[in-house]
Structure formats: structure tokens, C-alpha cells
Amino acid sequence: MILFTYPNIIDSKNQSDKAQRFPLTGTIDEIGNDIQKIKQMGVDHIVFGYNFLPTGSDVKNIIDKTKELSKFAR
């Protein structure tokens, strides 16, 4: 099973509103916890799309954020 999603990464924990946080939205740690829950549901692969997000044009930032998120997928 493959999930294609657009993560919305927020750099500061102060900006994240936990009461109204959507899955795969928030800090790296919050999204990482979502990834672990998604894995438990049986998803084999997660594909992140960044082209509709503000970071979409910054390839180095995309690579860095994806490396951080990949730690949660192992």
C-alpha cells in the first residue's frame, strides 16, 4: 500500500495547535509520530509531495526535511 501526501512542516512547536492539528501537519516530531501510526495501519510506502507547499521550490530544504522524516519510517 502506498500513501501519497503533502506534509505541512511547521518549524516551531509554538506555532503548532495540537487541538486542531491535522495528520501530517506540524513539527517534524509530530509528523514523525503520524508516520509511525500510518505504518501500523499497513502502509508500505509514503510519498511526500512538496510542490504545493512554500518549501516546494527549495530543493535543499526538501531533501533535509525528508531525511529528518525518514528516521521515523524505519
pLDDT digit string (tens) for 1-10? Answer: 999 998 888 8
Are the CB atoms for 61 and 11 separated by under 8 Å?
no
Beta bridge partners of 46: 3
Q: How far is the C-alpha of 27 from the C-alpha of 66, rounded, in Å?
A: 13
Phi, psi of 43 (to 5 degrees): -75, 130
Express each pLDDT in 19-55 by its tens digit: 688 999 999 999 999 999 999 999 999 998 887 776 6
Phi, psi of 8 (to 5 degrees): -110, 95
